Chain A
Amino acid sequence: MRLSDPLTVTAADAATDGTADADQHPSPRLWTARQTLLAVVAVPVLVAVGLLCGFLAPALVTAIVLVALVLVTTAIWVGLRGRYRSWSYREREDDLIVARGLLVRRLSVVPYGRMQFLDVTAGPIDRWFGLATVQLHTAAATSDARIPGLPLAEARRLRDRLAALGEARGAGL
């Protein structure tokens, strides 16, 4: 295996490459939750815009605006499913890998030893679906490793495991 010169992959690199840990995914309820959130926001907006246009604008304009809004909402509705389905994470021996994104593909590698703190958050709709978001923070402002839509038990397990690993592997700055 050889990258473009002079970044040559050494034997040490190859030896630690490829761990067998499996990819894990957020709960399938995640995109249902996000779609519910979208519906909660979009339906009142649609009704409000429809009423406003109905009173103030000609019928044709109202129809065009409503159809456009419905189309956009549907596109987001469908897109959300793909976006949240693309989310996956993998707990390796020394670091956590989080991959996401359909349009913009992103992948974050955060070593356990670099974790400064962990966030577990759950909004009202997430709570209703029994989901939570786990986010890792390092000393770098640009680090971004967030796993949304974990079932509460899994979120708790991940939090405790990451916290324990962070303690064990902690390194100075």
Chain B
Amino acid sequence: MTAPPTGPAPTPAELADVPAQWTRLHPLSPLITFARTLGVVLVIIVPRLATRSGDLVGLGVEAGILLLGVVAGFISWLVTRWRVSGNELQIETGLLRRQSIRLPLARVQAIDIDRPLLARVFGLAELRLQVAGSGSGRGRLAYLPEAEASRVRAQLLALANGLHGGTPAPTGQLLFTVDNRRLVLATLLGTPSLVLVVLAAVAVVLGVLTDSATTGLGMIPPIFAVAALLWRRLNAEFGLTVVEAPDGLRVDGGLLGTRHETIPLPRVQAVRWDEPLLWRPFGWCRLEIDVAQQREARRDDNSAFPDRALLPVGTRQQASAVLARVLPDVDPYRALDARPPARARFKAPLAYRNLGLWSDERYVVCGSGVLRRRLVVVPLAKVQSLRFVQGPYARLLRLATVHIDLVGRAWHAAAHARDEGEADQLWPVLAGRARRARSGAGRRVSAPSTSERLSEQQPI
């Protein structure tokens, strides 16, 4: 987070060193990768060492286990090597089960640099290559020295864009910096805290009614869960900056661990504009972005970054400005001008005031949300399929919903509870507009800029 987002342009001398030979990762890598396990083992062993200093057998067994771990880590480092050959990143790893990974750089969606806390302590960073569909687990180089990581990243990105490997990373223009005081306040005012307050109120009422303190104890796990959630979000989004560069939007930030990611703009599948209930008095909103890639943060790494927002919290002006760079010429608020008919209140009484729909030749915007107003902006060229759904209750009210299917399973957009006749016209119109947007996008690629070429090479 302290590093300037654009970074100093690497000198030509640095760039000349293309790692065409097999290279190993940093020797401390296994230590960081297995830090958590190591911590657990130490927690078990150290107190026992202190108390049972005379027991030589136990001591020997424990020392043996520790030594085995160290040897295993060393071997895993020894057998893992990587190089860039032609337009491929090649990684070989594994002692018994050899794994050889070839990543064609033309297929790479984005390259991120993660710096979890422990890696930062040692001045190391992890390089992650995002490939559509497959998780990030395959294309990761953990860990490299920080300087080398950014150098390799620039080089791989240049190669992925069909440029010479020595081309320096293009510099960008700062779009947005999050206000950290506002971020802290906004994070505390977000939906998780709201849920917590409701839970606490329920617990107090129950406690008073049953006249016992045990219900209070029941509140402890949810408090911890919410605190952990808030902390993770804050940790990931603290000091976040967005820089617009020719290769995409560069998003940097983090409190203890930092992450540097680049989002190629042609990859953006949809943008979500969120206004949680308690943010409304301040006029704040949050922008999230959907890219055709999946993070496997849950399983495979100890950095455990949650999905980050493009704009964690900002004023509507700031959000509009950032949105204009990602998806130009669209005002999501216009969706709220076209609400469903008044009888839709019987179908969605709470969400009604957030429902809405707007579309032109390039975008469709859908509003939804009960407590939080959520406006999803979808470029029509990215729509996968459309669905018209009408349940029995909706039929009674002469309403219907048109779903707009997006890549993956995480995101969803739908024009809820529209008038039946309107919905009947809506899906053919949207299908036609999506078709024209797709063929239009195909034509535009004929004169590709650097960033567009990245997208053109990887039809999936």
Interface string of A1-45 (1 = CB under 8 A from B): 101111101101100111000000000000000000000000000
Residue in B385, B426, B441, B459 whose CB lies within 8 Å of A111: B385
Residue of B nearest to A16 (CB): B432
Which stretch from A56-64, A74-82, A101-109, A149-157 is at the chain B interface? A101-109
Kindly provide the distance from the CB of B197 to the nearest chain A CB, expressed in whole angstroms: 33
**Most chain B CB neighbours (cut-off 10 Å) among A5, A110, A114, A172:** A172
Interface residues of A in 115-168 (CB under 8 A from B): 138-145
Chain B: CB-nearest residue to A143: B385
In whole angstroms, how far apart are the Cα atoms of A10 and B429 in the complex?
9
Most chain B beta-carbon contacts within 10 A, residue among A94, A105, A111, A140: A140
Q: How far is the CB of B169 from chain A (nearest CB, A)?
A: 24
Contact, CB under 8 Å: A105 / B390: yes
Q: Is B114 an interface residue (CB 8 A)?
A: no
Would you call B460 and A139 a contact (CB within 8 A)?
yes
Q: How far is the CB of B172 from chain A (nearest CB, A)?
A: 24
| Residue in B358, B382, B405 whose CB lies within 8 Å of A7 | B358
Cβ-based interface call for B406 (8 A) = yes
A103 to B395, CA, bound (A): 9
Q: For residue B384, which residues in chain A have a CB less than 8 angstroms away from its CB? A: 110, 114, 138-140, 143
**Residues of chain A contacted by B405 (CB below 8 angstroms):** 138, 140, 142-143
* B460 (CB) vs chain A CBs: closest residue: A173
Is A95 close to B, CB under 8 A? yes
With A105-B390, A140-B406, A171-B442 known as contacts, the answer to whether A3 contacts B460 (CB < 8 A) is no
Q: Is the CB of B459 within 8 A of A171?
A: yes
**A109 and B427 contacting across the interface, CB-CB below 8 Å:** yes
Interface 1/0s, chain B 326-339, versus A by CB < 8 A? 00000000100110
Most chain A beta-carbon contacts within 10 A, residue among B427, B432, B458: B432
B148 within 8 A of A: no
Stretch at the interface among B78-86, B151-159, B313-321, B407-415: B407-415
Residues of chain A with a CB closer than 8 A to B385's CB: 108-111, 114, 138, 140, 143, 145
In the complex, which residue of chain A has the Cβ closest to the Cβ of B432? A16
Q: CA separation between A139 and B132, bound complex, in Å?
A: 11
Candidate in B385, B408, B409 with the most chain A CB atoms within 10 angstroms: B385
Residue contact A142 to B412, C-beta cutoff 8 Å: yes
Partner of A5, one of B337, B408, B428: B337
A4 to B391, CA, bound (A): 22
Contact of B358 among A6, A13, A109 (CB under 8 A): A6
Inside 8 A of B436's CB, which chain A residues have their CB?
Answer: 12, 16
Q: Which of B330-366 contact A (CB under 8 A)?
A: 334, 337-338, 357-359, 361
Residue on B nearest A138 in the bound complex, by CB: B384
B386 within 8 A of A: yes
Instruction: Decide if B419 is an interface residue (CB 8 Å cutoff).
Output: yes
Find the A residue at minimum CB distance from B388: A107
**At the interface, yes or no: A54 with Cβ under 8 Å from chain B?**
no
User: Which parts of B290-312 form the interface with A (CB within 8 Å)?
Assistant: 292
B435: interface (CB < 8 Å): yes
A170 and B386 within 8 A (CB): no
Given A142-B403, A142-B405: A13 in contact with B392 (beta carbons within 8 A): no
Q: Does B164 contact A (CB under 8 A)?
A: no
**What are 10 A-B pairs at a CB distance below 8 A?**
A6-B337, A12-B433, A103-B392, A104-B392, A105-B390, A108-B388, A111-B434, A114-B385, A142-B387, A143-B387
Q: Which 9 A-B pairs have the closest CB atoms?
A: A141-B409, A140-B405, A140-B384, A172-B459, A107-B388, A109-B386, A143-B385, A138-B384, A105-B390
Known: A4-B422, A7-B358, A109-B386. 14 other contacts (CB 8 A): A1-B425, A17-B432, A103-B391, A103-B392, A104-B392, A107-B388, A108-B388, A110-B385, A113-B438, A140-B406, A142-B409, A143-B384, A170-B459, A173-B269
Q: CB within 8 Å of A: which residues of B?
A: 132, 267, 269, 292, 334, 337-338, 357-359, 361, 381-382, 384-392, 395, 400, 403, 405-409, 412, 419, 422, 425-429, 431-436, 438, 441-442, 455-456, 458-460
